[in-house]
Amino acid sequence: MNRPRWLVPALLTVAAALLAPLPFIVNDYYLSLGISLLNYSILATAWALFSGPTRYISLATVAFFGIGAYTVAVLYETLPLALLLVAVILVAALLAAVVGLSTLRLSGVYFVIFTFGLAELIRQLVTWFEVNVSRSLGRYIFVEYGSSVIYWQLLGLALLVFVGGWFLKRSRFGLALRMIGDDEPVARHAGVETTRVKLLTFILAAVVMALCGAVMAPRWVYLDPVIAFNPTLSFEVVIMALLGGANSLFGPLLGAVPLVLLFEAITANFPNTFSILLGVVFIAIVYFLPKGVLGLVAGLRLRRGSVSTSGFDADSAVALSGAVADSGQGAAASAPTAAVSAPSGEPGEPLLEVRGLRRTFGGLVAVRSLDLGLHEGEIVGLIGPNGSGKTTALNVISGALAPSEGTILLRGRSIGGKAPERIADAGVARTFQLVRVFGSLNCRENVEAGLAFRPQPLQGAQAHDESERLLAQVGLAGKGEWPAAQLTYIDQKRLELARSLAQDPSVLLLDEWLAGLNPSELVVGIELLQSLRGQGIAILLVEHVMDAIRALCSRCVVMSAGQVIASGPTDEVLSDEEVVKAYLGAEDA
Amino acid sequence: MIAADIAITGLIVGGVYSLIAIGLTLQYGVARILNLAYGETFVASAFGAYWLYDSLSMSPLVGLVVILPAAFIVNWLIYSFLLTPLVRRAANRDALEVDSILFTFGLLFVVQGVLLVIFGGQYYSYSYLAVPLDFLGSVVPVNRLIAFGVAVALGLVLYLLLVRSRIGTAVRAVAVDPRSASLVAINVRSVSALAFAVGGTLCAAGGALISMFYTFNASMGVAFTMKALIVVIMGGVGNVLGALVAGLLLGVAETSVSRLIDPGLTLAATFLLFILVLLVRPTGLFGRSS
């Protein structure tokens, strides 16, 4: 855990240095095997860089690889090396940007199919260009250097990719990628511009693939579009990365090495039936190693972890209670039933104001008309029977859904219809009715995810300390290193609140955050929310627990069937005849 | 005149595209298998028709009587024995999609490799009923007209079966929601196997028909898989009528580009069309917006 940052990069550099003298030691056959190993390792790692976290299965590897090779074939006589590299990078980045912008909004399988055809499309366009513009199909590449230089270039590129990848994973950008991999909508609500992150990653991976193709181009001597854009390469890279495990930096390497050797053995021994055997290998891998080698390892680690963690949970309620007492603000309400007339915000300008909000799904009107105002340091309850439109209202306010009509103002500025990450930046944080944490991150990283993407981001040691403080505040002290997926449901709710608080919100939207707590946990939970109000945070509380509503909310807005049926001070609203009817039905009222 | 020419040629090619797209929409929309080896069925069937004609002098139309049942059985066996384990272990649709993409890609290579070993890499063609016929003012070979007619007939029969028959209703129910379908006593697995097999059969029919007037080789299956996929998505996944119309549309679009601009840019045009459809109507031309 506490290995210094430079240890892995240093080891990688040493490994590269040890591999560098290979051309002086082995014969041509083994040198070309080495080149093949490096080539596929780089491609599979680049593929996993994008496809691992985003789960988009891209079959476009050869499109970028081929375009890199072809750029070299066309320009190598006219441009010096440095400019040639710049040209390769620019061409690949441009292509990836165009492809990414038009296809990253597509859902999974459309993206697969599009990338599947992309290599074929580019091949046709290049062929057309060569036939009609350059008037020559096929090009010769004569360079003065031999295989050894290509090997060293690839080794350098591989070192760059692994060291770069290692630092990238530990950066804010890498954190954003992991958040996207776990739960993209939540990442947006935590302030991550997910489209930009995905696009940049796609471009980065494409550039690496193109550079690989550029380095490999002289190996062929003769290059035509059919050679450069052979779709088999894309699939080989996918199966290598998946075999090794696409979610770790070195996983693809573990998949590439054995498969390159296997393919090499098949080519050497069964040249006529290569394609049949390649197919059989694919099928066998799908059957027997569905999660990849590293997937198996990760599974084992998780299982061992969960054994050692059982038996800790009993203390959490106590811990939460202690934490609130420490903060010194929970003393006011000792019992949840005690009505609180807290210093609700001044009746002046509301912090959050919703006017005439309407949201429809086709013919279904989920929210007919909603008006509410929320002042600084105020907790307003948004209540009503199931299906009355409360969660839809929260989704619209937080940007998960666009409003059909109406205005939403935060400090007088309209936020209605903006992207979730913009609304998060403006100071609105939320939790979810069905708890959503970043399952593959540990607790501290979950909170740091909130810290890293707010307008004044915290990173490094500061983020570490602040996340520990927030974890303690919600009652998760000492659980910072626990994988979030292993927490109990209640602890995950606490973690979600800590992540929301890490965003330093002025408005907090809580969707049934107190549901499912046992009586003693409820007391502590209510105290915690009161302490947040003491900090000046305005809370919109969607809740069914009446004790909590009475204890916390100065005012309530009651919805039924998408309509506001009552609004005002909590006590008045809860005794309103309409409200009772909506909850209990007409006969019982 | 050229417009009429393009329309007729395009519609005739489009008829075959429609047929294979309807088959793929059954495999992907109902059985939930994204079959990248789909075009290999097409090519294998073209070789089958060629072999029957060349060595047994059997007319390709009679050959369908042999090829279609064979394709049905082979596809049924593939689904029941090779794909069912993947379906059973899949945690969700995404997992099945990744598995089926990689599995059928392996299958693609096996089939292609076998065809290469038997027939080699060269192009094949044979001449059957290549008699020119004056059709609505354009000259069209009879074999193309027959291919179009058979394709449309098969498509319509399938459509009527889906809409009018009990088993067709079950197939459509599984296409909408496999889990709900199993709640009303539909055997989802056997319906899926049936849909997969029928899909493969339609694809084989397309291959046998097109072999009458098209040169083909062992490694061109991927291009037909691509075209079928694009037509399926344009028509809306699981939508048979959508696949029919989108297939005809693609035929006309391709023929237009090839005649008016450059034959080398047909695929580029196809892709452009595909992207435009996805960006403007992501659920397909005839899909309901969700």
Question: 3-state class of A430 per DSSP?
Answer: strand
Identify which of B34, B109, B274 has the shortest CB distance to residue A279: B109
Closest to A397 measured CA to CA, from A363, A360, A437, A353:
A353
Closest CA to A202 of A49, A1, A424: A49
- Candidates B224, B278, B288, partner chain A, best to mutate (most A CBs within 10 A): B278
CA distance B264 to chain A (A): 6
A117 at interface of B, judged by CB pairs closer than 8 A: yes
Is B230's CB within 8 Å of A117's CB?
Answer: yes
CA dist., res. A507 & res. A511, Å (int):
13
Instruction: Output B54 or A322, whichever has higher pLDDT.
Output: B54
Q: What is the pLDDT of residue A505?
A: 92
Amino acid letter for position B253: A
Nearest to A447 by CA among A430, A426, A464, A429: A464
pLDDT at B69: 95
pLDDT at site A290: 60
Backbone angles phi, psi at B197, to 5 degrees: -70, -45
Give the C-alpha separation, A134 to A494, whole Å.
64
A542 at interface of B, judged by CB pairs closer than 8 A: no
Q: Where are the alpha helices (DSSP H) in B120-220?
A: 142-164, 166-176, 178-183, 188-210
Which range, A108-117, A487-496, B67-76, B148-157, is most confident? B67-76
Residue A268 confidence (pLDDT):
87
Q: What is the mean pLDDT of chain B?
A: 86
Smallest CA–CA distance, residue B85 to chain A, in Å, is 8
CB contact under 8 A, A121 and B267: yes
With an 8 Å Cβ cutoff, is A285 touching chain B?
Answer: yes
Residue of A110, A286, A288, A364 best to disrupt the B interface, most CBs of B under 10 A: A286
Contact across the interface for B275 and A114, Cβ inside 8 Å:
yes
Beta A222-223 vs A428-430: how paired, if at all?
Answer: unpaired
**At residue A324, what is the residue type?**
V
Are B117 and A280 in contact (CB < 8 Å)?
no
Cβ partners under 8 Å of residue A26, min gap 6: A34
Pairing of strands A352-361, A139-140: unpaired
Q: Is A287 on the interface with B (CB under 8 A)?
A: yes
Angstroms from B258 CA to nearest CA on chain A:
13
Could you tell me which chain A residue has the CA closest to the CA of B289? A362
Contact at CB, B278 and A131, closer than 8 angstroms: no
Q: Which of A503, A359, A363, A351 is nearest to A417 (CA)?
A: A359
pLDDT computed for residue B156 by the predictor: 87
pLDDT at B205 over 90: yes
CATH number for the domain whose boundaries are A340-584: 3.40.50.300
Is A188:A419 a contact under the CB 8 Å cutoff? yes
Q: Does A121 touch chain B (CB under 8 A)?
A: yes
A132 touches chain B (CB under 8 A): yes
The answer to whether the CB atoms of A238 and B102 lie below 8 A apart is yes
For residue A319, give how far its alpha carbon lies from the nearest alpha carbon of chain B (Å): 37
Beta carbons within 10 angstroms of residue B192's beta carbon: 26
* H-state helical runs in A170-250: 172-182, 184-189, 194-220, 225-228, 232-244
CB B47 within 8 A of CB B32: no
- Contact list, A131 vs chain B (CB under 8 Å): 264
pLDDT of the residue at A329: 39
The rounded percent of chain B whose pLDDT value lies above 70 is 97
Distance from CA of B268 to the nearest CA of A (A): 6
**Smallest CA–CA separation between B173 and chain A, in Å?**
22
Contact call for B278 and A106, based on CB within 8 A: yes
Whether residues A128 and B107 touch (CB distance < 8 A) is answered with no
C-beta atoms of B226 and A106 within 8 A: no
Question: Are B279 and A117 inside 8 Å of each other by CB?
Answer: no
Predicted pLDDT at B288? 52
Q: Which residue has the higher pLDDT, B16 or A108?
A: B16
**Mutation site, B25, B83, B104, B105, interface A, largest A CB count within 10 A:** B105
Contacts of B109 (CB under 8 A, 6+ apart): A232, A275, A276, A278, A279, A282
CA angle A44, B97, B210 (to 5 degrees): 100
pLDDT confidence of B85, banded at 50, 70, 90? confident
The dihedral built from the CA positions of residue A163, A166, A168 and A172, taken in this order, carries a sign that is: negative
Q: How far apart are CA A162 and CA A9, in angstroms?
A: 8
Distance of CA B171 to the CA centre of its chain: 18
Which three-class secondary structure state does DSSP give residue A438? coil
pLDDT at A14: 92
Got the DSSP string for A23-76? HHHS-HHHHHHHHHHHHHHHHHHHHHHHHHHH------HHHHHHHHHHHHHHHT
Nearest to A112 by CA among B23, B250, B241, B225: B225
Q: Is A365 helix (H, G, I), strand (E, B) or coil?
A: strand
Q: What span, in angstroms and rounded, lies between the C-alpha atoms of B194 and A468? A: 57
Give the CATH fold of the A7-300 domain. ABC transporter involved in vitamin B12 uptake, BtuC (1.10.3470)
Determine contact: A273 vs chain B, CB below 8 A: yes
- What 3-state class would DSSP assign to B247? helix
Least confident span in A494-503, B94-103, B128-137 = B128-137
Q: Is the dihedral of CA A300, A302, A305, A306 positive or negative?
A: negative
* Numbered residues of chain B with Cβ closer than 8 Å to any chain A Cβ: 34, 36, 82, 85-86, 89, 94, 97-99, 101-103, 105-114, 116-117, 222-223, 226, 229-230, 233, 262, 264-265, 267-268, 271, 274-275, 278-279, 282
Q: What is the residue extent of each domain of chain B? A: 2-280
Please state, in angstroms and rounded to a whole number, the distance separating the CA atoms of residues B58 and B62: 7
Report the gap between the CA of B10 and the closest CA in chain A (Å): 21
Pairing of strands A139-140, A222-223: antiparallel
**pLDDT tens over chain A, length 589 residues:** 456 678 888 999 999 999 988 889 888 889 999 999 999 999 999 999 998 888 788 889 999 999 999 999 989 888 888 899 999 999 999 999 988 887 777 766 778 888 888 888 888 888 888 888 877 778 888 888 888 999 999 999 999 999 999 999 889 999 999 898 888 889 999 999 998 999 999 999 999 999 999 999 998 888 888 888 988 899 889 888 888 888 888 989 998 999 999 999 988 888 888 888 888 988 888 887 665 555 555 544 444 444 333 333 333 333 444 444 344 333 333 333 333 444 444 556 889 999 999 999 888 889 998 998 999 889 999 988 888 888 999 999 999 999 999 999 998 889 988 999 999 999 999 999 888 999 888 899 999 999 999 888 888 888 999 999 999 988 888 888 888 888 888 889 999 999 999 999 999 999 999 888 888 888 888 998 998 888 889 999 998 888 889 889 999 999 988 888 888 898 888 888 888 888 777 655 4
pTM: 0.83
The residues that bridge with A541 in the sheet, in sequence order, are A381, A510
| Nearest CB to B102 within list A109, A128, A286 | A286
Query: How many residues does this entry show for chain B?
Result: 290
Do the chains contact at A117 and B267, CB–CB below 8 Å? yes
- Residues contacting A104, CB < 8 A, separation 6+: A56, A111, A195, A198, A199, A202
Q: Which residue of A has its CA nearest to B120?
A: A272
Question: How many Å apart are CA B165 and CA A306, to the nearest integer?
Answer: 53
CA–centroid distance for A501 within its chain? 19
Q: In chain B, which residue's Cα lies nearest the Cα of A104? A: B279
Q: Which residues of A478-511 are buried (b: 16+ CB within 10 A; e: fewer)?
A: ebbebbbebbeebbbbbbbbbbbbbbbbbbbbbb
Give domain B2-280's CATH architecture: Orthogonal Bundle (1.10)
Q: For chain A, what are the domain ranges?
A: 7-300, 340-584
Among the partner-chain residues B34, B86, B117, the one whose CB lies closest to the CB of A272 is: B117
